[in-house]
Amino acid sequence: MHVADDVIAAVATAAGAASLAVVRVSGAGALDVADGIFRGSSPLAGVAANTMHHGWAVWPRTGGGAGPEGGGPERLDEVVAAVFRAPHSYTREDVVEFSCHGGRLPAQRVLAALLHAGARLARPGEFTLRAFLNGRLDLVQAEAVADLIQAETRAAQDLALSQLAGDLSRRLDALSERLIDALAEVEARVDFAEDVGGIEVPERVIDALGGAAADLGGLLEGAAYARAVREGVRVVMAGRPNVGKSSLFNALLGQERAIVTAVPGTTRDLVSERLEVAGVSVTLVDTAGWREGGDAVEAIGVERARAAAEESYVALWVLDRSAPLEDEDRAIAARLAGRRVLVALNKSDREARLAPASVAALAGVAAHQAIEVSAVTGAGLDALRAALAGVLGAADGGPSLAATVANPRHVEALERARAALERAAGAAREGLPGEIVALEVRESLACIGEVSGRVLGADLLDRIFGRFCVGK
């Protein structure tokens, strides 16, 4: 992929009624294209950088002819043009941002005029792609821009801001520097064995490799939670009819949402709501009763419930603590085996008739916590939320989100980097030839480079920037 030199344009703000809408133009020649549609006190090509100019956006003259009515050019909107000059702009290219009146039409007409005047419609994320290709942002920062736009909780926004500010990039750069030093030592031994006194990798280099692998491990430690913060998770409620799933769903949300009745199997469909637990956007899904049999409509509900539970991050399995276990409970336990399950022992306001040991003995759920709650009195709800936070990886307030790895692409690359480093340290310890150690260290550096974007193929870039909205 090469740095493009054409002029791109797009509406940068969301469609819909608003006070302002912004149309952005970027590229060498952006000022000339902008002048094609702008009538102000002076042409934008001559104005100073970082200045704003009031004027009118008009349909561009083509072939020197007059406007459509034979009079002056057709007016499109009254605008303010902000002028940025390379390299001091978002893309590091010449950029003009037209602030138009809000609503769909003014910005769309200004955009159409710019396209007529020689700009090309930007692809999703293309402004940020140019910022990356022109070296203003590294890839971690560029991806953080998309995360920032999509963040649904404050923690998710803080995480994106930390990556935009370069916290993760700096840690990875520092790590790469150490690895390059180690690599230089190893390669010096390979190339000039006589001068440096042998080909064996010295102990301190082995330690450095091991230390770097451990640092990567530390970065990856908070990854599960950071990913949950970044992407949000689905928590599906499981449990036989009438154990109090809908009641608990409402209690957790603090509002009446699902239909609660004393008739088994009445929540026929999936009902989902969003809540926040430890900074994670949790989509809580209440499902139709998990009852075998029943009518056809109910059977569809049961099927959807099972499918939903399979797709979810955690299943919140609700049991009625005031009744003994039923075969249906056991059947559900069997289906949940091997999944992340949190157990809520509901109706704790009533006399207990369910021995905790009998729940713990159920296949597949033994390792998970069981929390006593009452959807009716609200007792135990805080403990249930805390336990859910723990399952999400946020126990004790969660690991610090500064410089953690949240993006699955980063996690995957850094795991490969760590594995290569461990192989490098292992090979060095066994006294294998320096070439092998060097090869693994290089592999590790390449993996880290993928994260910052220093070694990336064009297809991967397209995939990454394709998630952006147009105009960003």
Tell me: does residue 404 bind ligand GDP (CB under 6 A): no
Q: Judged by CB under 6 A, which of 142, 235, 375, 441 binds ligand GDP?
A: 375
Tell me: does residue 434 bind ligand GDP (CB under 6 A): no
Q: Judged by CB under 6 A, which of 350, 353, 463, 467 binds ligand GDP?
A: 350
Q: Based on CB atoms, which residue is closest to ligand GDP, 162 or 348?
A: 348
Binding mask 187-226 toward ligand GDP (x if CB under 6 A, else -) reads ----------------------------------------
Tell me: does residue 276 bind ligand GDP (CB under 6 A): no
Tell me: does residue 268 bind ligand GDP (CB under 6 A): no
From the list 384, 332, 355, 398, the residue with the least C-alpha distance to 153 is: 398
Contacts within 8 Å (CB) and 24+ apart, 374-377:
374/346, 374/347, 374/348, 374/349, 375/244, 375/247, 375/248, 375/250, 375/251, 375/346, 375/347, 376/247, 376/347, 376/349, 377/348, 377/349
Tell me: does residue 444 bind ligand GDP (CB under 6 A): no
Say how many Å lie between the first and final Cα of the chain, rounded.
19
Q: Judged by CB under 6 A, which of 130, 227, 339, 347 binds ligand GDP?
A: 347
Q: Judged by CB under 6 A, which of 17, 262, 367, 458 binds ligand GDP?
A: 262
Which of the residues 112 through 141 are near ligand GDP (CB under 6 A)?
none
Q: Of the listed pieces 19-27, 154-162, 207-215, 241-249, which binds ligand GDP according to CB under 6 A?
A: 241-249
Please spell the DSSP secondary structure of 213-251, one letter per residue. Answer: HHHHHHHHHTHHHHHHHHH-EEEEEE--TTSSHHHHHHH
Sheet of 75-84, strand order: 38-40, 51-58, 75-84, 95-101, 20-26, 8-11, 120-121
Q: Based on CB atoms, which residue is closest to ligand GDP, 249 or 468?
A: 249
Tell me: does residue 261 bind ligand GDP (CB under 6 A): yes
Q: Based on CB atoms, which residue is closest to ligand GDP, 27 or 289?
A: 289
Tell me: does residue 346 bind ligand GDP (CB under 6 A): yes
Q: At closest approach, how far in Å is the CB of 249 from ligand GDP?
A: 7
Helix (H) or strand (E) holding 358: helix 356-360
Which of the residues 279 through 338 are near ligand GDP (CB under 6 A)?
289
Sheet of 280-286, strand order: 271-277, 280-286, 233-238, 314-320, 341-346, 370-372
Q: Based on CB atoms, which residue is closest to ligand GDP, 121 or 376?
A: 376
Q: At closest approach, how far in Å is the CB of 378 from ligand GDP?
A: 9
Strand partners, 39: 56
Which chain residues interact with ligand GDP by CB under 6 A?
Answer: 239, 241-247, 260-262, 267, 289, 346-347, 349-350, 374-376
